[in-house]
Structure 1
Amino acid sequence: PPEDRDGRPPAEASGPPAHALLLGGFGRSRAPKVQPFLPAWLAEPSCVGKNVTKDLVPIEDIPEVHPDLQKKLRAHGISSYFPVQAAVIPALLESAANGFLVGRGGYRPSDLCVSAPTGSGKTLAFVIPVVQALLHRAVCQVRALVVLPTKELAQQVSKVFNIYTDATSLRVALVTGQKSLAKEQETLVQKTVDGFRCMADIVVATPGRLVDHIDQTPGFSLQHLRFLVIDEADRMIDSMHQSWLPRVVAAAFPSEGAKDPFALVQRRQPQTVTAASTCWPQMPLQKLLFSATLTQNPEKLQRLGLHQPRLFSTGLAQGGSRDADTEVDGDSGGKYTFPAGLTHHYVPCSLRSKPLAVLHLILEMSFSRVLCFTNSRENSHRLFLLVQAFGGVTVAEFSSRYGPGQRKTILKQFEQGKIQLLISTDATARGIDVQGVQLVVNYDAPQYLRTYVHRVGRTARAGKTGQAFTLLLKVQERRFLRMLAEGGVPELERHDIPGELLQPLVPQYEEALSQLERAIKEERKQKAA
């Protein structure tokens, strides 16, 4: 065989080449945990206190708020701001201090993202500065648009805006599809001899209905829009396939052929700041995102087209060192915070004993207002029929089986104490402020941490106390408890319900099961007919 210059055989003769694949070594090794790289604004947020009882800020400590609004706050029993409100309101008022237009040396304001627990006062954090910024407007135009994922949430936010615009010239329009398109059009525009007159300064809308009006309402214009508020932002990002946001931006910055002929200053798409651009006065569109579970996935946030965003967060960790969330999309990237007055429990139980466990918690522990969540409309309906047949508990279900008007009535009766147990899908878990909920029961364990956060956030709101119980099957315990621990949930207390405590309920429960089966069969017959 040939030899090299040193008289030795070539390397190939003495062993495998460097690129050869060596078989063996199949032992398992744990892959190193990769820490996500976050942009600076996400990794280093402005930290906000999370204790809504200890970190209160007296109204007089934020003198920037208009005296009329301060008076209105006191009239509604508010003498102090929650931490989120105390941080966000001054920042928004400062960004709006130059009026509607920027230019001639002014700069486009930063977009704001707010991540804080449910019940921490996020709604008022944008209502107050938006109303104050519009107080002295001369002409009625749509200057603020608030987009929410559900009709119930939109109604709630609209109600708050109406409180603080009362006795002002500002007008609020609610467009969610609960009224006919024609009726809603009357609240948005009015036909005049020479065109259209805008009838609303602030529009509160759901995405689908908003797009309907952009497409079908003559004279409806967003070319004067100054604030775009996206509440429940994580859910709104998830629904971005509806393409509602690009439609809003296109309506706010129309193409050359669709300019407003009545506008004194034609609006341009945001561009790089140059000496020339600062000499051109224009109205900025400032985006304000609010959520209890704001995603930290930069790719998702990029879809929003945020401008030099600033994050206010009650999160515990900073500097990109947060633990990864256990959701399948891995987008939260950090620990959530929870109301200080909330205690977390889990109840080990079998599939058959789950309804009995719910009945025991209500009957034996004397809870008068309980919100119970299931993972499907079918489960909600079956549990509702079962509890109804059992008797002794005033119960109602809250799901898409009912129309908006019926759901509104059910929520009102629940708040008034006429309904003791409200069984729901996750339709109510997003921002609905149901007053006086003492207990949240997760009848079906939520699959994702984000769902858990929103569910249990229906109690212990605004500094009050509350309890959350999750019913867990043996096969669910390990994964669920690990998910919550990694997500920053305080340790769950184990709450065992001995079989002897459930035994007295069994005869009545067996009879209720029989009635349930008969009711289900009857419903199927009616559907078939």
Structure 2
Amino acid sequence: MKNIGFNNLGLHPKILQAIDKMGFEEPSQIQAESIPVILEGNDVIGQAQTGTGKTLAFGAPMLSKINCNEKNISSIIITPTRELAIQVNDELSRIARFRKISLLPIYGGQPIERQIKSLRRGINVVVGTPGRILDHLHRNTLDLSNIQFLIIDEADEMLDMGFIEDIEDIIKACNSDRQTLFFSATIPNQVRKLASKYMKNNIKYIQIAKNTLTVEKTKQYYYEIKNRDRFESLCRILDVDEPSSAIIFCRTKRGVDELVENLQLRGYNVEGMHGDMGQNQRLNTLRKFKDGSLDFLVATDVAARGIDVENVSHVINYDLPQDTESYVHRIGRTGRANKDGIAYSLVTPKEYMMLKQIEKFTKSKIKRKEIPTVDDIFEAKYKNIEKKIKEVISENDYKNFVPIAMELDEDYNLVDVAAALIKITFDKELSFNYKENSINAEEENMRLFFSIGRMDNVTPRKLLKFITQTSSIEAYEIGDIDILNKFTFISVPERVGNVILKKSNGKKFQGRRVSVELAKNKKSNR
């Protein structure tokens, strides 16, 4: 499977253009093995762990084959959860960006009338949850009688959640000459029975073996960031940690070039590596990184594959990878030779689900860290400068400069002179012109009042479900929940609270209309 590129798999040129734009240099194993088989017209059961790139494995060939000029539904993708439906739809939208293909996610918690309007206008690809798909079938607003593709994603999870009858009802609404694809992390007997009952005789079974995980010696952390603050966040991390040797991973070749240029402008000792660079250039960069004349290496996954450097103290995921296996390969670059390594990931709220998949895949906990403040950076730089001064004094390596110090002593207090020299050193070492002490200085929490409480059978789980369904806010963005007898308080970031106030106020919880307001104070007794 070595040296196979996406352009060797037979995909539509417009799909290849989108994949290149997304920055993927070569297919993962499930993609390389599945795409040609699907393009040949076979039914497929693909078994690979969550986070190995299964969406692109079925999405790229499906989007290559369907006729985008037709306004009827060509493909239906069934997912077990609303969150996965949104994620799959977003990924397919990126893959289809240069083909005029219309996509629609359909799931509960979203107004069905809006979905019906979109379906009437004509949609090529529908991604949905079983319950909402059946709802549309019963209303005759969804026609699956002429589809090219029926795709069931996370089939094992779907059946574990008790959707077997719903899935069979949906399959029965589809035409028999369709192409059927099952993708799943495991293939239990229920999935096999479903496949033997509804898939063609030309079925191909593709199984990707689990990789051995080697992350025990690596301490893993993540920083939650806003996308606009990604670069400054990285600079703050580098300034406070001062890694002795670090590999910084970007998802795309262009991302590598841009990050290297920006870091060099800030004075960091850094170079980049990616697939478009010549072999001599890459070898020269790698030599400098190995011998320590280069502090930081920015690379794509493909370019970093041949890197074997023992003393890498940090791996930093500037961008999360496209799949969890790549994450394991990345952080395996540190924590070698029985040394502890550190792996940091910069994660936006939208990428939080991917982070959870990585935790599940690696069977490890990735701890959250706060983005360093300028005070943190000053403290780290001060300790480093203090250490260097003590080393120079202990080694008696300052005698040539005593006359200058004595001369300054005539006009100034030597403590002031020392402080001025420390400031000069500090300013020289500080890379970024930081405007705020904290990068999240503007982010304040808001306390909201809900007019329902224990008397209304409210539990934290039910309340979170109500909020996520009415406002589209993710559950992890909700802070403290304080449920009292007649009402409830929650704490949320201000930006999240404004959305909840706008969208959840006046909605019904178990038949009762809920009032959502800004709490007057923490001890409000309404």
- Alignment TM-score, normalising by the size of structure 1: 0.43
- Alignment TM-score, normalising by the size of structure 2: 0.43
Higher RCO structure, 1 or 2 (CA under 8 Å, sep 6+): 1
